[in-house]
Amino acid sequence: MPKVEAHFDADSLVRAVHAQPYGLRVTTNNPRIFKATIYKAARRLGLPTHIYSFPKAPNSFALLKSKLAKDEA
């Protein structure tokens, strides 16, 4: 399988998540590549980013800068 280049600036997106009080909600057309790209950028920048999916919207994600507490879920 050929390498797929990201069509967005993952580093800037991770920084934007950490600039918000909690994070951001995003939608993508390629969830697998999107998640891998975000996790890679977050590791590279040293900014832990957690990705939560929405069960009824498989292409939508909540990108949060800290883990979601069980009582907030």
Is 18 in contact with 45 (CB distance < 8 Å)?
no
60 located within any domain: yes
Determine the length of the chain.
73
Residue 44 has pLDDT above 50, yes or no: yes
4 located within any domain: no
62 located within any domain: yes
Per the structure, the count of domains in the chain is 1
Is 38 in contact with 8 (CB distance < 8 Å)?
no
The rounded mean pLDDT for the chain is 86
Q: Where are the beta strands (DSSP E) in the chain?
A: 23-27, 50-54, 57-64
Average confidence (pLDDT) over 12-35: 93
Is 28 in contact with 59 (CB distance < 8 Å)?
yes
Name the DSSP letter for residue 23. E
32 located within any domain: yes
72 located within any domain: no
Range of the domain at 41: 10-67
5 located within any domain: no
1 located within any domain: no
